[in-house]
Structures are given as structure tokens and as C-alpha cells.
Structure 1
Amino acid sequence: MSHTTEWKARVYLFEEDHTTKVRVELDTGTNRLTGHGTARCNPVDQDIPEIGDELAAARALEELAVQLKHIAYGDMIKSGAAPQEPSLMPYGARTHDALTR
């Protein structure tokens, strides 16, 4: 079974007073989701806007990932294939935890 689709995403970054805010909008064709992320520059740190952009965007995308997992788990349950161990933790965090034990 072959399946191809396209999802559209828009990333909006706003910076003011050493705070970066990001809004990511994702349109999957069947769902429209929005994730938000914020990063603040410590007053004693050098202000490097790219770092704030990266952190805030990563946090917004993590929020989107949790939303997508909720939708996927709900769809799995509806189809009769409930997830064995639903986890809302980021995938990499589970891998990192296993490696650091």
C-alpha cells in the first residue's frame, strides 16, 4: 500500500525584550494544530537571537508532537489497535533516559 501526502506548516517568530516567541501552525488536511514556544535570554548571557529562535521553535514543535500523538493514539483506539504503552514524552528523551541509566 503506497501513500503520499503533503502537510503544510508555517513558523512565526517574534522577538521582543530578550524573549522569543514562536507559533507553529500545521495543517495536515484533516487537522489544524498550533504549537507555541518561548525562550528567554538570561540577562547575564550574550544576546544571540538565533539561539532563542532555535529553542522557542523546538519547544513549539514539541508541543505539536504531543498534540499529534494524542490524535494518533485516539485514531489507534478507534481502529481497535490501542497503543501498548502510549507515551507523550519526546522520542529522543526516552532514548536518552535509557542510555543514561
Structure 2
Amino acid sequence: MPENDHPRVTPVCAEVIAAKAHVVLDTGTTELAGNGTAHRHPADTNVPEICDEPAAGRAMDDLAQQLLNTADRDIQSMTGNRPNVRQTSGRPV
């Protein structure tokens, strides 16, 4: 990869099936997969989007946690210091 070229982060699959979601992220050097599920209470009205959205969000959250853990390990292996990549400048975590 050229020195000034940035790795590409491309979602390979973002698929919601019923109340299950599976998301794959391929950075070119690492591939991570996140999974999420959601369940509708039997007494609730059957609105698939209301169940699909939390499942997709949970899959993306799972993927985000894995990506942050990978970044932690990579930084620590290069610097010897334990990083805190979970700090944000935008929304609070």
C-alpha cells in the first residue's frame, strides 16, 4: 500500500433477517463480523422494523467494540502503553 494511501473500510455485508443482523467489516488487513438480535414481546404489535433496527444496531455495536479492542491491542503492541481509544470528542459513550 502506498505510504499516503489510507486503508479502505468497506462494509461487505449488512443484512437484517427477521430479528437477526450480521455485519462484516473488511479493512484490507483485518476482517471483523458483528452480530445482533432483537425479540418482540408477544403482546406487542408485529412491526418488523421495530425489531430489525435494534438487531442491526446491536450488530454494529458488537462490531464497533471489536474494532476498538483491535485498535487497543495494535497501539499497545507498538507503544507498550495501554491506550484509551474509547474516549470521544463528540457524543459521550
C-alpha deviation, 1:82, in angstroms: 2.7
Question: Shift of the alpha carbon at 1:86?
Answer: 6.2
Q: What displacement does 1:59 show? A: 0.4
Secondary structure of 1:66's counterpart equals helix
Q: Distance in 1 between matches of 2:42 and 2:78?
A: 51
* Larger helix proportion of the pair: 1
Q: Which ranges in structure 1 are unaligned for 5 or more consecutive residues?
A: 97-101
Distance across 2 between alignment mates of 1:85 and 1:7 = 22
Q: For 2:76 and 2:6, how far apart are their aligned partners in 1?
A: 23
Q: Once the two structures are aligned, what percentage of the paired residues are identical?
A: 34
Aligned amino acid, residue 32 of structure 2: L
Q: Which residue of 2 aligns with 1:12?
A: 15
- 1:57 aligned onto 2:56: yes
The count of corresponding residues between Structure 1 and Structure 2 is: 87
Within a 5 Å distance, the mapping from 1:64-83 to structure 2 comes to: 64-80=63-79, 82-83=81-82
Give ranges in structure 2 of 5+ residues lacking alignment: none
Change in 2 beyond 3 A, CA 1:77/1:60: same
Q: Would you say the 8 A contact 2:75–2:83 is kept in 1? A: no
Taking structure 1 as the reference length, what is the TM-score of the superposition?
Answer: 0.73
